[in-house]
Structure 1
């Protein structure tokens, strides 16, 4: 289904018994923040302890508290530094004196270079921001709005006749494609990676988006009937609650209440909260595998099959938009054996999709991950409004990422 965040924990940066005295580096605070950002991004905010971060830096817990009063302060600092440095990288690469195309080329390269440099911690804000208090989240979001506008300006110049809504969507799609490399650990040299991201981004920028739907009025139209199975209701409500407030903040009592039963009754269906989480991931993996098989059976070509998979994946995600963020942010809460089994299933689903694309298979896997990113990030931008026109626009962006778009003469 999706790529994995790293399963590696923290390893001490200072060998045991090393007698060599160490001077405190001038950038100690920055070093602590970088280590914390990487740990939170790879394993999630809650599972990581302050003592682990301190050990990785090579200091004691009390020494770390001289810089940060608690773990939350570390999360804020890590998210803020990541946003500011990404914005700084974009502004440093931007050259308003250039025409739109070379300006965008420099911007894409600058953002891609920085994102690749911080690849292991680059997804922190994306997946852990719900743990930030509203005031901190809003302050950090201002930087991402500024980043978005930095990229949007030359896109408007490149496509002066484009609807402002389309420019917003294309900007989100470009940034999503670059940011998708933080989702997985597939190896590719820096030179090849930057060239691939450049190609993907320009395919996005050349995409002719289908018309947007009219502004929504009134309450959204609800489609489908609710299931009566309590087990299915529990799975659905658990993912919604995990997505809204995080796995560690959710309780069995709350999940049971959302499904209309008490906590003790939940245990008739699932042995633990982790069992609920694993079952939800398993169910999603099964649905993706079924969707892949259906797409293959209906397709007239390999490219057609890749687009059909994209369409099914988008529709499935829009129907339950919390599932992918929950996967990326909460996967480390599963037992190691369950992580390994699920990761194998999800890798197989990605490979099934990537094998339909021409060219190098490593690059094909990158394209699949970037296509998955379009569903998440563009979906968020349009609030996962699942009207057919919106799904067609997301599908067009995914197709561009997977198959490319030829430059018009």
Structure 2
């Protein structure tokens, strides 16, 4: 199951497994808003723009969201929760095989990055638009997710310090999170294979060579 499906299941109170449920109208509106924010920037999009694109009148739109800020929180917070939960799950599935754990983490993140380029663009460019408390919570979730990677990397490379492993983890995220900037000249399956192979090669290389 992809991160996107896990997040949607979590929002609905359903388990993060099984058949994907039908999206709610709220989720459809949020997806449209995320796409507009990613394409035009947060300040380049009005609530009227979102309502028009979603075919929703003003009062109906405000029934689902108090405003753009609430949409941004709704778009970013569940994703950070989902990444952390998914990362922890994949590490736990391979307690004695750190190479397998790393490969599973990479597969997981590449699937997320390919499925959610607009959300990645929001994280890169619009996170600071959030109020202090949700921004702090998201940053905390992100740090915890990074630490899942750090644990695996330091197990694979015993000479690596935690700080050095964080450098490598963030470099890997930069590679995998390049999906908002990739064109469509390479099909999705091949893009996934290239991102996985490049990230794995970078993280398996001996840093002291």
Structure 1 match to 2:11: none
The alignment of Structure 1 onto Structure 2 pairs a total of residues equal to 184
| TM-score, normalised by the number of residues in structure 2 | 0.78
Structure 2 match to 1:368: 169
Give the deviation of 1:307 after TM superposition.
Answer: 2.0
Matched, 1:310 2:121: no
Aligned to 2:178, the other structure's residue is in SS state: helix
How does 1:104-115 map onto structure 2 within 5 Å?
A: none
Q: Deviation per CA, 1:293-350, whole angstroms, max 9, x where unpaired?
A: 3312433512321221111111111112111221121111111122111111111111
Q: Is the 8 A contact 2:111 2:192 kept in 1?
A: yes
Q: Is the 8 A contact 1:318 1:385 kept in 2?
A: no
**Larger fraction in helix:** 2
- Measured at CA, do residues 370 and 226 of structure 1 come closer, stay the same or move farther in structure 2, by a change above 3 Å? same
Matched, 1:345 2:141: yes
Give the counterpart of 2:123 among 308, 311, 327: 327
**In 2, distance between residues paired with 1:320 and 1:378?**
8
Matched, 1:251 2:52: no
Aligned to 1:355, the other structure's residue is in SS state: helix
**In 2, distance between residues paired with 1:393 and 1:286?**
26
Unaligned 5+ runs, structure 1: 1-224
How does 1:174-193 map onto structure 2 within 5 Å?
A: none
Structure 2 match to 1:356: 152
Matched, 1:237 2:32: yes
Structure 2 match to 1:48: none
Give the deviation of 1:395 after TM superposition.
Answer: 0.5
| TM-score, normalised by the number of residues in structure 1 | 0.42
Matched, 1:336 2:132: yes
Give the deviation of 1:267 after TM superposition.
Answer: 1.5
- Measured at CA, do residues 318 and 337 of structure 1 come closer, stay the same or move farther in structure 2, by a change above 3 Å? same
Matched, 1:301 2:97: yes
Aligned to 1:261, the other structure's residue is in SS state: coil
Q: Deviation per CA, 1:198-241, whole angstroms, max 9, x where unpaired?
A: xxxxxxxxxxxxxxxxxxxxxxxxxxx99430121122111111
Give the deviation of 1:388 after TM superposition.
Answer: 2.2
